[in-house]
């Protein structure tokens, strides 16, 4: 798929603002080609990506496609860098368009767009929470399977200027040094426990140490004490993560950890804002806030 074709797909998708056309925007054949070129490009990125500021960070999107477009258009998306924290699919109605646009942008601008994996980029999860049904209804099972095959190649962590760690869920009791991440090979299936599972599933808690995450039924809660200890050991200034519904963004642990959520009016049920974090050259963080009526 050449750059002209990628530009055409990006243009078609970026022109969807308030309503979707009756006909499909991206054909099945184009999806399969997009998955091929995306997989080739994302495989070149390290499992722990080392990125440089300035960069824009986007959290969970969950199929809310027009919100993705609004974030991209809030800045010069063809020239600036972006990092996505995963959870592109499920819950919302347009997971396919979210993936197609992110994949096309990564293929077209591989040194500007970077992606880490969320817990919903997993067959066992997205079969249940909407993505499978969307693919079957609009295309067929082969589209769902091809997208899931690409998820296995997604990086797990990103480190901005060696100081801001970006992850979908959080830390793990099995992760002491970031150098451990480089031992993880891809393609990768998400296990039901252990370090990789924790990175995608864990949540900050209000207790000390670690405790089982009984709400999710997976992974752990981590307290401020073990989080700060991990950050000091790895010389970090901030952890940026997604995974939880908050009103745009929420700081915890004396502003050492921020949860970023980019799906406003989530599931057409909540009254939350969505946010994109803008990291400047000097690592100053500001936020683009998006709240829309749905």
From 100, 118, 105, select the one nearest 59 (Cα to Cα): 118
Compute the distance between CA of residue 193 and CA of residue 138 in angstroms, rounded to an integer.
33
Does residue 220 carry a catalytic annotation? no
To the nearest 10°, report the CA torsion of 157, 178, 236, 115: -10
Residue with tokens 């709240």: 291
Catalytic residue among 5, 62, 94, 120: 120
Give the SS3 label for residue 32: helix
Percent helix, strand, coil in the chain, to 5, is 35, 20, 45
Identify the bridge partners of residue 290 per DSSP, sorted by sequence position: 274
Contact between residue 38 and residue 262 where contact means Cβ atoms under 8 Å apart: no
Q: Rounded to an integer, what distance in angstroms lies between the CA atom of residue 294 and that of residue 60?
A: 18
Token pair recorded at residue 86: 């995963």
Q: In what order do the strands lie in the sheet with 203-204?
A: 203-204, 220-222, 210-212
- Mapped onto helix, strand or coil, the DSSP state of residue 143 is helix
* Enzyme catalytic residues: 120
């Amino acid at each position: 798929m050449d750059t002209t074709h990628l530009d055409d797909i990006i243009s078609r998708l970026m022109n969807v603002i308030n309503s979707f056309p009756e006909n499909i925007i991206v054909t099945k054949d184009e999806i399969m080609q997009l998955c091929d070129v995306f997989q080739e490009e994302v495989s070149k990125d390290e499992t722990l990506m080392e990125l440089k500021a300035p960069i824009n960070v986007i959290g969970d999107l969950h199929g809310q496609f027009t919100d993705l477009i609004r974030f991209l258009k809030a800045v010069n998306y063809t020239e600036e860098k972006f990092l996505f924290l995963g959870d592109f699919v499920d819950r919302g109605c347009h997971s396919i368009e979210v993936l197609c646009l992110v994949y096309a942008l990564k293929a077209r601008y591989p040194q500007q767009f970077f992606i880490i994996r969320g817990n919903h980029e997993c067959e066992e999860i997205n079969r249940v929470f909407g993505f499978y049904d969307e693919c079957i209804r609009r295309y067929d099972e082969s589209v769902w399977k091809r997208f899931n095959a690409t998820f296995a190649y997604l990086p797990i962590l990103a480190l901005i200027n060696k100081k801001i760690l970006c992850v979908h869920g959080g830390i793990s009791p099995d992760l002491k040094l970031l150098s451990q991440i480089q031992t993880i090979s891809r393609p990768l299936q998400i296990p039901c426990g252990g370090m990789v599972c924790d990175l995608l599933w864990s949540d900050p808690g209000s207790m000390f140490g670690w405790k089982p995450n009984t709400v999710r039924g997976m992974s752990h809660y981590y307290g401020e004490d073990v989080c700060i200890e991990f950050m000091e050991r790895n010389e970090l200034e901030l952890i940026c993560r997604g995974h939880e519904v908050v009103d745009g963004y929420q700081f915890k642990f004396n502003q050492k950890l921020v949860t970023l959520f980019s799906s406003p009016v989530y599931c057409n049920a909540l009254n939350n804002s969505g946010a994109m974090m803008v990291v400047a050259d000097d690592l100053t963080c500001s936020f683009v806030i998006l709240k829309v009526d749905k």
